[in-house]
Structure 1
Amino acid sequence: MSLARAESRRLIKRRFTKVLLIGLLLVLAAVFAGSWFTSEKVGPSQIAAAKAEADGYYQEALRTAATDKQQCLAAAGTPQAANWPANCDELYTPTREDYDYRWYMPATFDLREDFRNMISVFAVVLAAVAFLIGASFVGAEWNSGGMMNLLLWRPQRTRVLGTKLIVFLSWLVGVSVLLGAVWAGLFRVLAEARGTTDKMTSGVWQSFGLMGLRGLGLIVAAGALGFALASLGRHTGMALGALVALGAVQIGVYVMAGLAGFKYPDLLFTPFWIFAVLYKEWVATDYTSCDYSSVAGCRPDTFTMTWQAGSIGVAAVAVLVVAAALWTMRKRDIT
């Protein structure tokens, strides 16, 4: 039996892999169910009800404004006049535009506007699962002594570890693409049944596809990082510990950078990199610097992190950690 086939069977038959996949499906099912039951198809009756509700609030606001104006006029020349403006006509008068009926519409799933967030949820959840499966796949081999036994059969260290990684990432891509297609199909059904598919064009679908590809890149990078970190520490706990330590360090660095006056502390926090990759950009804002303008008011400085920069950063970290794992595989004692 080939090494790749043996590793594929080992990955698929692992109990931890099956448990995580079942958990993944349950989480995704819960997200979809929540979207389904909180969405409602909008028709003429819902629009009429929303307009009636908006008009009711508008009329109530008009009555309140009229009462306030009467009290303001009545207070003239009395001690209570200090509680009102000198000119009662300056009091706020509600307008119809302040009560747009669309704000009172029931929640409905707009495929064009809302599916991007569902792609993001899908990518983040799968990335977390990929990290855990990758870490446990190789970590368990080291912890149980299976790696040493395997190297007696196949003494090529780099080839063994590299084959494990390739098999895992290939399996990960296949599962992600399959689940991604099902995910898109489910939300298309949701939009048709309890939402809207208005303004959907080929360009919008292309944008969804490109976002899905960027999400797939994050999933693969997360799986590779989990695998490599567990291989470096020769234990699944090494990957989990490194993840916790990274989170703690980044939070500390983020806070200290903000206190030290660093212009854009957001750039030091990994979640913002992930956001930039998924949503094409992240705009970091320096609220301590304000360029006042008589026309536009306060304009703080900003820096836009593009998805290209975020992708390069994530890929660079993944490649460096994987390279370190392969290098230590060759140099360290296996026993």
Structure 2
Amino acid sequence: MSLARAESRRLFKRRFTKLLMVGVLLILAAVAAGTYLSNQKVSAGQIAEAKAEANRDYQAGLVSAEQEKQKCLAAEGTPEIQNWGGSCENIYTPSPEDYDYVWYMPASFELRQEFPDMISVFAVVLAAAAFLIGASFVGSEWNSGGMMNLLLWRPQRLRVLGTKMAVFLGWLTGVSLLLAAVWTGVFQLIAQFRGTTDRMTSGVWQSFGLMGLRGLALIVVAGALGFAMASLGRHTGMALGALIGIGAVQIGVYVMAQLAGAKYPDVFLAPLWLFAWLYKEFVVEDYTSCDYSSTGGCELDQFTMTWQVAGTGTAVLVVLVVGAAMWTMRSRDIT
């Protein structure tokens, strides 16, 4: 039997792998069911009623604004004018855009608008599972002594570890693609029966596909990191401990950056990088750059984290961790 085939059998015969995949399927099924039950198909009559209600509220807003303006004009030349900032020109007059009829309709699943969030949910859930399965797959081998026995049969260290990782990542990619196809089909059906598939062009599907590929990359990276960290520590718990430690360090750096007055301390948090990778960019704003007491208004200073930057940083991390795992596999004693 080839090494790759043996590793494939070992991967899928593990109870932890089976239980975790069942858990993933249950979570995804719960998300899909919740989305289906919390949305409904909107009829033309409901749209007309929502537009009428939005217009009624808009007209009421105009009347209220006019009444407020008359009060202000009557207070001119008196101390009470300060209640309106000293001038009646500051009174806001509502516009039709302030009363979007969509806000008056029941929840309805719009595939074009809401499916990107479902792609993110899918990617994050599978990435978490990939990290745990990858860590357990190699960590249990080290902890039980199975790795030492395997090296007696195949004494090529790097080939053994590399094949084990390649088999895991290969199956992870295949299963993820299969589940992604089912996930897409399910939400297309939800949109047809409990929402709308309007404005779905080829460009929109292409955008979904590219986002899905970035989600797949996230899943594979999470699996590789879990596998490599567990191999470095030669125990499943070492990968989990390293993950907790990295999270604690990030929070510490974030707090210190805030105390030091850093302009954009949020860039030290991994969730920002994750969001930027999936949604192509994430804009961080410096709320200290504006004087909100000013009546003239101002624009906040901004920093945009792009998916290219997030991807490059993550790629460097993966190369370092996987490279360290391979180096220690080659140089450390197997005991």
Normalised by the size of structure 2, how large is the TM-score?
0.89
Tell whether the 8 Å contact from 1:291 to 1:300 is kept in structure 2 after alignment.
no
Aligned ranges 1:70-149 → 2 under 5 Å: 94=94, 96-149=96-149
Tell whether the 8 Å contact from 2:84 to 2:90 is kept in structure 1 after alignment.
no
Cα 1:65–1:209 shift into 2, 3 Å: closer
The residue identity in structure 1 corresponding to 2:134 is: G
Q: Name the structure 1 match of 2:5.
A: 5
Q: CA deviation at 1:299?
A: 2.6
Tell whether the 8 Å contact from 2:282 to 2:305 is kept in structure 1 after alignment.
yes
Structure 2 gap ranges (5+)? none
Q: CA deviation at 1:211?
A: 0.9
Tell whether the 8 Å contact from 2:81 to 2:87 is kept in structure 1 after alignment.
no
Q: Name the structure 1 match of 2:38.
A: 38
SS in 2 for 1:304: strand
Q: Name the structure 2 match of 1:181.
A: 181
SS in 1 for 2:303: strand
SS in 1 for 2:288: strand
Distance 2:166 2:9 in 1: 14
Per-residue CA deviation, residues 187-208 of structure 1 (Å, 9 max, x unaligned), is 1111111111111111111111
Cα 1:140–1:38 shift into 2, 3 Å: same
Cα 1:210–1:234 shift into 2, 3 Å: same
Normalised by the size of structure 1, how large is the TM-score?
0.89
Distance 1:89 1:213 in 2: 52
SS in 1 for 2:284: strand
* 6-15 or 49-58, larger mean C-alpha shift: 49-58
SS in 2 for 1:298: coil
Per-residue CA deviation, residues 272-297 of structure 1 (Å, 9 max, x unaligned), is 111111111122333333599x9x94
Q: Pairwise CA RMSD of aligned residues?
A: 2.8
Per-residue CA deviation, residues 59-107 of structure 1 (Å, 9 max, x unaligned), is 5546655766787789899998886788889765555553332221221
SS in 1 for 2:261: coil
Aligned ranges 1:173-252 → 2 under 5 Å: 173-252=173-252
Q: Name the structure 2 match of 1:152.
A: 152
Aligned length: 333
Structure 1 gap ranges (5+)? none
The residue identity in structure 2 corresponding to 1:136 is: S
Q: CA deviation at 1:42?
A: 1.8
Cα 1:152–1:78 shift into 2, 3 Å: closer
Cα 1:166–1:77 shift into 2, 3 Å: closer
